[in-house]
Chains A and B, each alone.
Chain A
Amino acid sequence: MNKILLIIQREYVSRVKKKSFLLATLLTPLIFPALMGGLIYFAVQEQKSADQKIIEVIDENQLFQFEDSETYRYVDTGLGLEEAKSSMKERNVYGLLYIPKVDITNPQGITFYSAASSSMSFISSLESGLKRKIEDIRLEQSGIDLEALKSVKTAVSIKSISLTEEGVEKASSGMVNYGIGFVSGILIYIFILIYGNQVMQGVIEEKTSRIVEIIVSSVKPFQLMLGKITGVGAVGLTQFLIWVILINTLSIVILGYFGLDGSSAEMMSGQAGASSEAVQALQNSDMGATLEAFFNVNWLQIALLFIFYFLGGFLLYGAFFAAIGSAVDSPSDAQQFMFPVTIPLLVGYFGLFSFVLNDPDSTISFWLSIIPLTSPIVMMGRVGFGVPFWELALSMGLLIAGFLATTWLAGRIYRVGILMHGTKVNYAVLWKWFKVKV
């Protein structure tokens, strides 16, 4: 046992002391916000600086009028279609919208000509604009007053309240829960891949430098494997905790800079007795509801579950990565075995986005969050929305059983693999190693 601690310590210290670890740990929390900020800044600049694009309209019905926007200006050419088409280039216009004489109940043959192929979003905005126009005209034709119609339109936003078992009402927001699942899922997926790879590299390094035979003359191969996986996992957890602390500190600093601090945010949750009118107003708005939901999330529970699924998932896959590392002589040989290991990870990843976040209680979401190979990524997508206790317990229990199983399985391959050099390894060989008595 003491020796496992020694191994964990070496794996941990040797990685944490690396410059690359320090850089990644300190820079990542800065790079992401900087990158996002940069992108938004450039997008805004782009929109501001871009010239208005001119779009010529030929409307043979003389029915439609288009309102100019910041980016597009609509001009009636007064030319015929063929003429306008041939001289489009010289007049330096972005495009030409041709509306032939149409039956208003079944508009056909509307065409947009442009020099460059135009974006999907622009075409669809044109389509929806035309659709609205035609609808308005048809409403008018059937004798409905447009002004009256406008006056009955209402904006509705639903505030969703989830009832907890204790009967406490809590504001929850799909967006916040979505965000929790989204971020946790991606983080766990990335961590498993990056740190799983580190386990594999570490095993390959020990195998190719031939130190492994000296080590296993002092400790059991299983201890060495477990120590390595645990040590690398601890490095991942350390990195993650530093990120959380750095990001929190940064946000507090930034929020403080903009005059929003934790206490006013607290008041927004409504528990401190909403006093000021501004806060009241905020609370009624969409933004306020989201913020309220944000502060109502049981962050401690989320954090503990995150750490559990993070470690459980890492241990489960880390064992596979260790076994792969032990079987090959170089990282390039590892490719063939990486494939079947990354498949369930990808299934979890895409399952999270295609099914779980949209419908957390569907059957497929349930199974993906129970099966240990996908549950580390998927379950975090469900917990925000509330998961029955027995499902959570089942999922966690199976994950523990799962990583015990994969560790045992991988250990059997590992103990043989690390002492084999220059063998051509395929699945049949792995199976032989698994069965062999050592």
Chain B
Amino acid sequence: MNILNIQQVSKRYGDHQALSEVSLSVGSNQIFGLLGPNGAGKTTLIRIINQIINPDSGLIEINGEKLQPKHIELIGYLPEERGLYKKMKVLDQLLYLAQLKGLKSSDAKAKIKYWLERFDIVSWKDKKVEDLSKGMAQKIQFVATVMHDPKLIILDEPFSGFDPVNANIIKEEIFRLRDQGATIIFSTHRMESVEQLCDSIAMINKSKVILNGTVKEIRNSYKANLYEVKHKGNLSTLSSDFSIVEAGDGLSEELLTSLIKVPEGTSPNTLLQALLPLVEVHAFEEKIPSVNDIFIAKVQEVAP
């Protein structure tokens, strides 16, 4: 079952259409990437899911129920622009935020203890946030997001501001939380981390969803029958049935890499057969476009 269903959600700020008829669904127990350039409407959508703002129209369901105040407890939210009370002690702060999420004081204490131990930061509990380094504060912030065991965790640009070591710790935690049954929505405009992290993605550009599906499906649907061949020898006499998109350049005794397009409906074996008499083949692989390639292509396609 889908943990989150968004149907035809629109939101307008004055003259600015932030979201127009956005529909998408997020399946349970996966990492879902919400992609899009800055200003596309990601944060607006996230704020609507968090009930910080209301949509002008459309329907949102969590676990099949219409979104309502009690769902706040199911969601953990790490905003893009984030911070903590500077003058408050770490423990007091986490306790306060956990109670606001509906946890009882005693439960909250146990959860906080668990997370502080997990990150090996128990010794910080009586420090004021203003005395912590930025990376330390980010860890506390992450604990604040997940300590109430949310079923749906929404992370807006989670890795901005993290050093690589901490970013990796957080990444591992995201996988672990997914494996324990949580669903993570992960919003970013940086594509590098998407392929290794996300099971499914949705792309938003200019207030509209332009792409939605599993990473595998999307990449496969955008493949252009391109094959990368590593070879020794010259390709210039290759049958004109195949177009050489990128010819390897260099001396004939060197290992060259070429990109060749196979016409629709033709098997790659045909290409291979055509290649074998001409060159010495060292590697042969289908070239599937990266999410980044698709993203850029899609955004440019929409642009006037």
Residues of A within 8 A of B (CB): 3, 6-7, 10, 14, 205-206, 209-211, 213-219, 221, 419, 421, 432, 436-438
By the criterion CB–CB under 8 Å, are B101 and A218 in contact? yes
Q: Given A209-B83, A436-B14, A14–B88 Cβ distance below 8 Å?
A: yes
CB distance from A228 to the nearest CB of B (A): 12
CA distance A205 to B84 in the complex (A): 10
Residues in A whose Cβ lies below 8 Å from that of B82: 210-211, 213-214
In the complex, the answer to whether A213 meets B14 with C-beta atoms within 8 Å is no
Task: State the Cβ distance, B70 to closest chain A Cβ, in Å.
Answer: 12
* 8 Å CB contact of A14 from B56, B87, B97: B87
Among A213, A215, A436, which residue has the most Cβ atoms of chain B within 10 A? Answer: A213
What's the least CB distance linking A420 to chain B, in Å?
11
- Contact bitstring B85-106, A, C-beta under 8 A = 1, else 0: 1111000000011011100000
In the bound complex, CA of A41 to CA of B121 (Å): 59
Q: Which of B71-79, B190-198, B218-226, B256-264 sits within the interface?
A: B71-79
Question: Do B79 and A218 touch (CB < 8 A)?
Answer: no
Closest to B46 in A: A217
Q: A210-B83, A213-B81, A217-B75 are in contact. Are A6 and B54 (CB under 8 A)?
A: no
28 residue pairs from A and B, CB less than 8 Å apart: A6-B96, A14-B85, A14-B88, A205-B85, A205-B86, A206-B85, A209-B85, A209-B86, A210-B82, A211-B82, A213-B52, A213-B77, A213-B79, A213-B81, A213-B82, A214-B79, A214-B82, A214-B97, A217-B50, A217-B72, A217-B79, A218-B97, A218-B100, A221-B52, A436-B13, A436-B14, A437-B54, A438-B53
Closest chain-B Cβ to A380's Cβ sits at a distance in Å of: 35
Instruction: Classify the secondary structure of B's interface with A.
Output: loop
Residue B22 CB within 8 A of the other chain? no
Interface residues on B, range: 20 to 34
In the complex, what residues of A have CB within 8 A of residue B96's CB? 6, 10
Question: Given that A10-B96, A209-B85, A209-B86 are contacting pairs, would A214 and B144 also be in contact in the complex, using a CB cutoff of 8 Å?
Answer: yes
Q: Do B88 and A6 have beta carbons less than 8 Å apart?
A: no
Query: What chain A residues lie within 8 Å of B13 (beta carbons)?
Result: 436
Q: For B79, what are the chain A residues with a Cβ–Cβ distance below 8 Å?
A: 210, 213-214, 217
In the assembled complex, the CB of B88 is this many whole angstroms from the nearest CB of chain A, namely 7
Question: Which residues from A are CB-within-8-Å of B51?
Answer: 217
Q: Which of B72, B84, B88 contacts A218 (CB 8 A)?
A: B72
**From residue B260, how far is it (CB to closest CB) to chain A in Å?**
50
For the complex, give the distance between the alpha carbons of A35 and B100 in Å: 46
